[in-house]
Amino acid sequence: MYKTKRYLLTVFISLSLLSGALLAQYDNSRGDQPEAEFHMARLIYTPSSSSNRGYWREMWAIDYPAAEYHFTQGVRRLTHVNTAQDSIHLRLSDDRIFDYPWLFAQQVGTWGLSESEALRLREYLLRGGFLIVDDFHGNYEWAIFANSIRRVFPERPVVDLVDGEELFHVFYDLDRSTQIPGRRHLYRTMTGEIDAQLHGPATWRGIYDDEGRLMVAINFNMDMGDAWEHADDPVYPEPMTAMAYRFGINYLIYAFTH
């Protein structure tokens, strides 16, 4: 019994050290100034008290680093935007957040912004920042996300984006009929084809400022980050990855020009 307990304790300590090492690699917020025209800034947020946290990494870091690696490679290949090699990870309390107008947040169905974080995000967006939220699904996660975003903009509605929205045409003309699932949502049909089963239809929503600029782009019931992460996975369908690249680049061009 003693040996078993000692073994389990050793395993626990080893896993804790490994988890710390993994999180340490996300602390890539080095340097005082941006090194390129585009850094894929990822938001570090406070988790909701009612959310399930990740076992091996914080939920804000889901899909890192593969999603960043593949997406930034795509930006360099498909555009002339000077792009940094890796993302930078920033808390809303970090003053450098205002140097990065394109902010990416995943698993926002698990976030729980504090009052100070909500006020800071409001300031960031009203000063010209652009936030993309991604990889959350179903009514339960929507409620968690909505609870925080209402504290950011209690006076501004979340609206469905229509086909004529400039975001969908600023670089690519986007066809929203292709849903972008997470890798975990894929399954093989009886005919051998790969299909996806999600919590509901893909929904694009957003929040605008007084001048009609989209400040928050909301990917609901989809997982653009997973499509980037699994770009070289033969199981993940190519049309879904291709659509995710097009959406990401449109978001980038829109943020740079508005």
| More confident call, 92 vs 177 | 92
Across-strand partners of 44? 91
- 8 in any annotated domain: no
* Residue 82 resides in a domain: yes
Are 105 and 82 a contacting pair, CB within 8 Å?
no
What pLDDT score does 11 carry? 36
Q: Would the pLDDT of 25 be above 80?
A: no
**pLDDT band with cut points at 50, 70 and 90 for residue 103:** very high
Is residue 102 in some structural domain?
Answer: yes
Q: Is the peptide bond before 201 cis (omega within 30 degrees of 0)?
A: no
Q: Whole-angstrom Cα distance, residue 133 to residue 94?
A: 19
CATH number at residue 128: 3.40.50.12140
Q: Which of 61, 47, 56, 52 is nearest to 20 (CA)?
A: 56
Q: Which residue has the higher pLDDT, 45 or 8?
A: 45
Torsion angle in degrees (nearest 10) through CA of 243, 249, 255, 258: -90
User: Is 191 a domain residue?
Assistant: yes
| For residues 8-22, average pLDDT | 37
Residue 119 lies in a domain: yes
Q: Could you give the number of structural domains in the chain?
A: 1
Query: Does 219 reside within a domain?
Result: yes
Domain range enclosing 229: 39-257
29 pLDDT exceeds 90? no
Write b or e for each residue in 156-192: b if 16 or more Cβ atoms lie within 10 A of its Cβ, otherwise e: bebeebeeebebbebbbebebebbbbbeebbeeeeee
Do the domain assignments include residue 25? no
Instruction: Classify residue 2: in a domain, yes or no.
Output: no
